[in-house]
Structure 1
Amino acid sequence: MSVLEVPVLSVKQMSKQYGNGCSACKHMKSGKVTKNYCHECGTVYACRDLTFDLYHGEVLGIVGESGSGKSTLMKSLYFDEEVTDGELYVAGFEEGKKNVFMESAQKKRYVRNHLMGKVYQNPILGLKMDFSSIGNIAEKLISAGNRHVGSMESRGAELLEAVNIPVHRMTEEPRNFSGGMQQRVQIAKALSNNPPILLLDEVTTGLDLSVQASVLDLIKGLQRDLNISMVLVSHDLGVIRMLADRTLVMLEGKIIERGLTDQILEDPQHPYTQQLVHSLL
């Protein structure tokens, strides 16, 4: 198997539930369970047996309505939340042979700080709003073990310039910035330690259309120049069409369809995907 055929990230039968479950939902008794919610005990099955791979230089799109489990999946991949069950293998960690979900908090932090970057839908989750923009980047670099102030400053300036933050605003706090600029600072921070994997969670939601377009162009350019692997979550098929090589469609915590993005958009098989694609036309 060539290097390009070995996944940089592999998820196997990942599940995340909120609540302990009961006999009604464990056996999915009709009338007791609606979609992925149990009326008997209140358990929500946010992600159910998710399995997929991400390859070198690939953009994997994940699309679905609110509540489909997309953001829960992203929180789990970045260890913002613990999974209920499942396996995660990352190529740069223990030769991709150890289930990261079962590793210690320290080892998860290593994977998060060295092998991944994440851009959150809400910049408040990804940035310290009372730090300078360049200070936010330094924070990520320090987490990855960098201690050289001069190199952190030059790396921060280089990245902020790459995402079109004016030089004279680099020492300004992100809370003074527009939503689009905050997202660009988040992207710079996420890329600071050259991670092989970038997680993008609804990064254009709530932005004006012109700002959305500039952020998407930036992501597309960075992906092309750095050949980074990305997991891109969106409820917007236009965003998926522009950026994703392959796409997973999620509904009620499950993957209901997967394939090349063009194939899914031109010939959707599942009724829900057909409805999604039709709403875009």
Structure 2
Amino acid sequence: MLEEPILSVKNLSKQFGDGCRRCSDPSTRDLIKNYCPSCGMVFACRDISLDLYPGEILGVVGESGSGKSSLMKCLYFDSDVTSGELYLQDEEFYGQNLWTLSAQKKRYIRNHKYGMVYQNPVHGLKMDFTSIGNIAEKLIAAGNRNVDNMKMVGEKLLDTVHIPLFRMKEEPRNFSGGMQQRVQIAKALSNNPPVLFLDEVTTGLDLSVQADVLDLIKRIQREFGISMIVVSHDLAVIRMLADRTIVMLNGEVIENGLTDQILEDPIHPYTQTLVYSLL
């Protein structure tokens, strides 16, 4: 019996613009990459389907403008979808298309079922809160009201991500980029989410700091068994983290499979270019 995906995306489309006769019919669509020169419509995501399995890290790789960040925004409800279905293996929401739920229920899923680590920590942290205060904010959003419990959870998580506890009452704006990302990871883990999203989390970090963050992500995945979707333009990051990988170009998935297979025997010319650039 095959294992059921914890998260399943079916035929996701995300468009910017109203469209025209030249681009509205997929069978006759005439685009420049993912752009319609007649009306200016941009197809950020085109008919994307994917499954994320329990305890798995799924990599999403592609160049800037490929649609990978738009995909992540749709999954985390930061952006509305044009069409598609999203299902979570959870008894509260089983069989329900999450994209059709009310704003209140989507907020509940973000607070209880999801964790998110943004490329820019400013989007995931309140820089004028203390580090432990950022974690407490997420815990309060998930319904926790016990101050002692929140302090205990916050201290444990900051220790897990190697933030010295004597700095837990410092504001993240005083931290380095790598430390800010680790605080963001701690905050994302605070509600014990079954699904964690990571969007370009090593971009802009020094190589040694990148390695520390990647090691932390792998350790968290082993210890907590969380399912993760990791977005990156860097195939070296995907190679280190991901069990399976999808490759995106111009809003479409052009290749998918086990990460080792894609690295050793890429099929699509674009994926071949990505892989050979590592050699």
Q: TM-score range by the shorter chain?
A: over 0.9
2:164 corresponds to 1:137: no
Secondary structure of the structure 2 residue equivalent to 1:112: helix
User: Number of residue pairs matched?
Assistant: 279
2:118 corresponds to 1:120: yes
CA distance in 2, matches of 1:197, 1:109: 15
Specify the code of the residue in structure 2 equivalent to 1:266.
Answer: E
CA distance in 1, matches of 2:142, 2:93: 19
2:127 corresponds to 1:157: no
Residues 15 and 50 of structure 1 are in contact (CA less than 8 Å); yes or no, is this contact kept in structure 2? yes
Specify the code of the residue in structure 1 equivalent to 2:89.
Answer: A
C-alpha deviation, 1:235, in angstroms: 0.8
C-alpha deviation, 1:20, in angstroms: 1.2
Gaps of 5+ in 1: none
Secondary structure of the structure 1 residue equivalent to 2:277: helix
Residues 56 and 229 of structure 1 are in contact (CA less than 8 Å); yes or no, is this contact kept in structure 2? yes
Aligned twin of 1:253:
251
Aligned twin of 1:228:
226
Which runs of structure 2 are paired with 1:1-281 in the superposition (5 Å)? Answer: 1=1, 5-27=3-25, 33-92=31-90, 94-281=92-279
Runs of 4+ aligned structure 1 residues displaced above 2 Å come to: 27-33, 93-96
Residues 8 and 87 of structure 2 are in contact (CA less than 8 Å); yes or no, is this contact kept in structure 1? yes
C-alpha deviation, 1:41, in angstroms: 1.5
C-alpha deviation, 1:27, in angstroms: 3.5
C-alpha deviation, 1:191, in angstroms: 0.2
C-alpha deviation, 1:94, in angstroms: 3.3
Secondary structure of the structure 2 residue equivalent to 1:113: helix
C-alpha deviation, 1:95, in angstroms: 5.0
Residues 119 and 201 of structure 2 are in contact (CA less than 8 Å); yes or no, is this contact kept in structure 1? yes
C-alpha deviation, 1:14, in angstroms: 0.5
Residues 93 and 111 of structure 1 are in contact (CA less than 8 Å); yes or no, is this contact kept in structure 2? no
C-alpha deviation, 1:225, in angstroms: 0.7
CA distance in 1, matches of 2:90, 2:29: 45
TM-score (norm 1): 0.97
Residues 165 and 181 of structure 1 are in contact (CA less than 8 Å); yes or no, is this contact kept in structure 2? yes
Residues 22 and 29 of structure 2 are in contact (CA less than 8 Å); yes or no, is this contact kept in structure 1? no
Residues 23 and 29 of structure 2 are in contact (CA less than 8 Å); yes or no, is this contact kept in structure 1? no
CA distance in 1, matches of 2:83, 2:30: 23
Residues 9 and 85 of structure 2 are in contact (CA less than 8 Å); yes or no, is this contact kept in structure 1? yes
- Alpha-carbon RMSD across the aligned residues, in angstroms, is 1.4
C-alpha deviation, 1:24, in angstroms: 1.5
Specify the code of the residue in structure 2 equivalent to 1:226.
Answer: F
Shift in CA distance, 136/93, structure 1 to aligned 2, threshold 3 Å: farther
CA distance in 1, matches of 2:93, 2:130: 36
CA distance in 2, matches of 1:238, 1:141: 34
Specify the code of the residue in structure 1 equivalent to 2:202.
Answer: T
Gaps of 5+ in 2: none
CA distance in 1, matches of 2:41, 2:18: 7
Residues 32 and 40 of structure 1 are in contact (CA less than 8 Å); yes or no, is this contact kept in structure 2? no
Specify the code of the residue in structure 1 equivalent to 2:154.
Answer: G
CA distance in 1, matches of 2:30, 2:13: 20
TM-score (norm 2): 0.97
* Farther off after superposition, 28-37 or 217-226: 28-37
CA distance in 2, matches of 1:267, 1:235: 19
C-alpha deviation, 1:93, in angstroms: 5.1
Specify the code of the residue in structure 1 equivalent to 2:248.
Answer: M
CA distance in 1, matches of 2:74, 2:162: 30
CA distance in 2, matches of 1:102, 1:254: 23
CA distance in 2, matches of 1:183, 1:105: 27
CA distance in 2, matches of 1:11, 1:54: 9
